[in-house]
Amino acid sequence: MSNQRLAPAVSDQDHVLGDDSTLVTLIEYGDFECPFCGAAYPVLKRVQERLSNRLRFVFRHFPIAQSHPHAEHAAEAAESVAVQAGDGAFWIMHNLMFEHQSALDDASLARYAEKVGADGQEVLRDLRDERYQRAVRDSFMQGVRAGVNGTPTLFIDRIRYDGPRDEETLVAALELVAERAEKPTA
């Protein structure tokens, strides 16, 4: 029953790697402090490399804030960076945070923001003002309604993927969908 729900369609609110012309879309609902997301990060990176321009990758926030005390601010900081310095900066910030999951306190977040070309002080102000709290919560609640039950949860073309998350299985699953998209049945 839960499996039949669709993730919201990709919109201009999303952080997207790849363009509309790709054959298959992989959506991750993730938490920057979640160790399972941290473990999935290099795998998803290799999967993206292998599918190359056939794949579009989307990251959506799903912070489990009580279990991961820095997750909410990490998500909000990523939003602040995206608004300040663009989606390219968002993705570098995304990478930096997954590569430094043990250092996600506010000062570290500001430092990463500086590295990607945003203003660290402004990130800290945005965190204090809870400027992106609503956006992060909206992403979380939309995920809940789509059947996201923990992190990371993956969707392939908006359908929840519950299979193994190793590189080979994921690539095979995505290839299958991409091939179908390439040769639509008459």
Which string of x and - marks every residue 161-180 that binds another protein (by CB under 8 A)?
-x------------------
The footprint of another protein on this chain (CB under 8 A) covers a number of residues equal to 17
Report the distance separating Cα 38 and Cα 180, nearest Å: 31
In angstroms, give the least distance from the CB of 164 to another protein. Answer: 13
Interacting positions 112-151 with another protein (CB under 8 A): 140-141, 144-150
Long-range CB pairs of 88-94, under 8 A, 24+ apart, other chains included:
89/116, 89/117, 89/118, 90/15, 91/15, 91/17, 92/116, 93/118, 94/15, 94/32, 94/59
Q: For another protein, which is the closer residue by CB, 64 or 85?
A: 64
* Residue 114, number of CB atoms within 10 A of its CB: 14
66 binds another protein (CB under 8 A): yes
Q: Which residues bind another protein (CB under 8 A)?
A: 1-2, 5, 64-67, 140-141, 144-150, 162
